[in-house]
Chain A
Amino acid sequence: MYGALWRTLPGPWWVRLLILLVAVAVILTALVYWVFPVVDQMVAPQDVTVNE
Chain B
Amino acid sequence: MSDGVESSVEVAPRPSGRAAPLRPHRRLSVVGVIGELLITAGALVLAFLGYQVWLGDVIVGGQLNGEAVEQAEVWGAGYSDVPPSEAGDPSQSGDPPVLAAPANAVRFANLIIPRFGGDYYRPIAEGVSTSSVLNKGNIGHYPTTQMPGALGNFALASHRSSGGGNFHDRHQLQVGDHIYVETPDGWYQYSFRNLEYVRPTGVGVLNPVPQATGVEATERYITLTTCNPFFSTAERIIAYGVYDAFFPRAGGVPAEIASNVTGAG
Q: Do A and B come from one complex?
A: yes
* B225 touches which of A36, A37, A49 (Cβ 8 Å): A49
Q: Whole-angstrom distance between the alpha carbons of A36 and B45 in the complex? A: 10
- The answer to whether B201 and A36 have CB atoms under 8 Å apart is no
Query: A41 to chain B: closest CB distance in Å?
Result: 6
Which of these binds chain A: B49-57, B72-80, B114-122, B212-220? B49-57
Give chain A residues whose Cβ lies under 8 Å from the Cβ of B205: 50
Cβ proximity bits B76-110 to A, threshold 8 Å, 1 near / 0 not? 00000000000000000000000000000000000
Q: Are A49 and B128 in contact (CB under 8 A)?
A: yes
Cβ contact within 8 Å between A3 and B51: no
Tell me if B18 counts as interface (CB < 8 A to partner A): no
Residues of chain B with a CB closer than 8 A to A31's CB: 44, 47-48, 51
Measured CB to CB, the closest approach of chain A to B106, in angstroms, equals 18
Dominant secondary structure of chain A at its interface with chain B? helix
Task: Specify the chain B residue showing the minimal Cβ separation from A43.
Answer: B52
Chain A neighbourhood of B231, CB < 8 A: 44-45
Q: Which positions in A face B, CB cutoff 8 Å?
A: 1-4, 6-7, 13, 28, 31-33, 36-37, 39-41, 43-52
Q: B-side interface residues toward A, CB under 8 Å?
A: 20-21, 25-26, 28, 32-33, 36-37, 44, 47-48, 51-52, 55-56, 59-60, 128, 130, 134-135, 140, 142, 157-163, 167, 198, 200-203, 205-206, 225-227, 231-233, 236, 238
Can you pick out 28 interface pairs between chain A and chain B where the beta carbons lie within 8 Å of each other? A1-B32, A1-B36, A3-B20, A7-B21, A31-B44, A31-B47, A31-B48, A32-B55, A36-B48, A36-B56, A37-B56, A37-B60, A40-B56, A40-B162, A45-B227, A45-B232, A45-B233, A47-B200, A48-B160, A48-B227, A48-B236, A49-B140, A49-B157, A50-B198, A50-B203, A51-B201, A51-B203, A52-B203
